[in-house]
Amino acid sequence: MSRSSLDWLPQSLREGAQPRTLAAGDPVFHTGDKVYGIIEVVSGRLHMVRHTIEGRAVVIQSSRAGELFAEAALFSDVYHCDGVAAEASDVIVFDRVPILAALRADPDLAEQFMARQARQVQRLRTRLEQRNIRSARERLMQYLLLAAEGDGRTIPLEGTLKDLAAELGLTHEVLYRTLAQLEKEGGIKRTPTAIFLVPGNAV
C-alpha cells in the first residue's frame, strides 16, 4: 500500500476517519453537494470532472493511491464539480469540521497543509500549460515526457485511453489517431499497461 498522504494529521483525527469502498463510476460527490471532508485515496483512482456546454466531461483533477482528492474544497461550502471513481477504489474520508479546527489550532499543521496545496497548484499549472498546446501531437508528447518514470521512457497507463484523453482535453478519437501515428513513426511503443518512448525517435 502507498504511504498515507495524511500521515501528518494527528492520530485522533485519523482514528475518526471513515473508510469507503467505491465501484467504478460511483459518485464521490456531485456539484452543489455540501462539502463533507478531505478524501484520501488508498487504492484505485478518482476523477474531478466538469462538463462543457456540449456535455463533454473534462477531467480537471485525477488522484491516485496515496494522494488527496478535492482537499481545496475544505474552504468552500459546496463542491463546484463532480467527483467520481474512475475505477474500483478504496478511500478514507476525514470529516471537514475537526480538520479545519486542527488547522486553525496548530500553525505547523496548517503549514504542512499549505505546502501540499502549493505542490498541487504547481501540478495544475503544468496541466494548464499542456492544455494551451494547440497541436494534439505536441500536447501528448509533452505529457509523456513529463509523466515518464525514472528511466525517462516508461509511462504507466493507469486507467483507459479515454481517461487519458479526458485528462489531456482531447477527444478519444484524436488521441487514438495521434498514438497510432507516433507508433507507426517509431516514436513510441505500446503495451496494454504502458507507453514507452523510443530514444532518438520520440519527437
> Where exactly are the structural domains of the chain?
11-123, 136-197
What is the C-alpha end-to-end distance of the chain, expressed in Å? 36
Q: What is the pLDDT of residue 12?
A: 79
How high does pLDDT run on average in the chain?
85
Q: What is the pLDDT of residue 114?
A: 86
Q: What is the pLDDT of residue 2?
A: 44
Check pLDDT > 70 for residue 158: yes
In angstroms, rounded to a whole number, what is the distance separating the alpha carbons of residues 168 and 142? 10
Across the range 139-165, mean pLDDT stands at 84
Query: From residue 199, how far is each of 141, 145, 203 by CA, in Å?
Result: 13, 11, 9
Greater confidence (158 vs 91) lies with: 91
Q: Which of 39-53, 114-128, 153-167 has the highest mean pLDDT?
A: 39-53
- Which range has the worst mean pLDDT, 6-15, 58-67, 140-149? 6-15
Check pLDDT > 60 for residue 202: no
CATH number of 136-197: 1.10.10.10
Q: Per residue in 46-78, pLDDT tens? A: 999 988 888 777 888 888 888 889 888 888 999
Across the range 114-124, mean pLDDT stands at 78
Within this chain, domains 11-123 and 136-197 share the same CATH topology: no
Is this model's pTM higher than 0.85 or not?
no
**In b/e form, how buried is each residue of 169-189, taking b as 16+ CB within 10 angstroms?**
bbeeebbeebbeebeeeebbe
CATH number of 11-123: 2.60.120.10
